[in-house]
Amino acid sequence: MTDKKQRLMLLFLLTLFLGGCSLFTDKAAERREMIQIAESQKMKVAIETYLKNLDPEALTPNGKIKSYRILKDKLKYNPMEGIIVEIVINRDDRLTIDMTVIEEDSGEYLVATSGTPKELTKLIERDKQ
């Protein structure tokens, strides 16, 4: 190969490498941003409000829902709007709620949609009748 072709090939490979690195950096920044949002006070208020709508005594000693944790590795942006969040209730992997959380015009977060497992519904409904 001539010196000119070698330089062009090197330039081409360098461009591919830098482009790939920028894509990786963008994904990492997006992931950090989602985690920061998920750990925010506004997200905590939205999730806890949602849980208290399910169980009025949630997150209290008398409630059926004692605790929750956000699965940070499952966070993703909803292409329509908001962030898809999964939470585990009472450290029981069978009690996983997936929800879409959106930001309202006021700046507050709101659980717009959710999927609640049958096991959680049974737990909450038990002793109500």
> Which residues touch 100 (CB under 8 Å, ≥6 apart)?
78, 81, 82, 83, 84, 85, 111, 112, 113, 114
Segment 24-33, tens digit of pLDDT: 567 788 889 9
Residues 54 and 6 in one domain: no
Structural domains counted in the chain: 2
Residues 98 and 66 in one domain: yes
Average pLDDT over residues 100-124: 94
Domain that holds residue 28: 1-37
Same domain, 2 and 56: no
CB atoms within 10 A of CB 5: 9
- 107 and 56 in one domain? yes
71 and 110 share one domain: yes
Claim to verify: residue 33 and residue 43 sit in the same structural domain: no
pTM of the model as a whole: 0.78
Same domain, 30 and 46: no
d(Cα 57, Cα 55) in Å, to the nearest integer? 5
